[in-house]
Structure 1
Amino acid sequence: MGRGTEKPFQQIGHPTLNDFEHTFTPVSMPGSSVHPPFEDQKCYGIDLGIKDFEEGISLKYLIELFSAFPEKDKYFNNFLTKLAGTESLRHQIEAGFSEEEIKMSWQAGLEEYKEMREKYLMY
């Protein structure tokens, strides 16, 4: 979580991840994040603002934090399923799939989609 900080979408972490060097403490910020998760608790994690930009979707930080998270059964919530559109991503990460293996599992669906959208492309 990075809400309640000056960089809400540029850092991720949790109070229990004290093996990570980057730290931040979420605070109440009226108008944006009045009561952020882990308010007034020191969180440890990753500063994404200093990482090199990669094209496409990167799952490496999601996988890295899951691997380090002590209570695996409490890592994911229903919002990830909503964003991903399926429980498959969560199950793959829990099963220890690598980023490459997960992305390869998307290929058949992507090819099917690309084929279907052909008739709608104008240029």
Structure 2
Amino acid sequence: MWAEKTAELFERIGIAVRVVTDEAPEEGGIPMIAYDHWKNGKPCSVIINTAPSTVITKTMAEHFQPGTIIIDIASNQVGVEPAVYEMPHICVKAAPGLPGLVAEQSAGEILADYIERNFLKKTGF
């Protein structure tokens, strides 16, 4: 549910969003795709991981565009392989407590602000 709320916020400001899931996609306005399809598809500019298991590997990240932003908000910080943090063409931040800091309805706004302060101004994105 948190992923969908965040996706809705980004769509409202004109950013194309897809939610990657290993569950059956819900009916509704946010496009959802299966994880297996996403990991072999076109890279994204911003990736927000909420999964409590490794979903972004070094092999996958080698194909990401320079300047790709990854924010790992999974509570146990295992969503991104450690080697990805060292890749010079990718900006990775672990923010495991971010969702719990705020109520669900405002978490997306805080995440958007976090991205702007920590990534967009630095990368000129």
TM-score in terms of structure 1 length? 0.30
Tell me which protein shows more strand as a share of its residues: 2
Which structure's CA Rg is the greater one? 1
TM-score in terms of structure 2 length? 0.30
Higher relative contact order (CA 8 A, sep 6+): 2
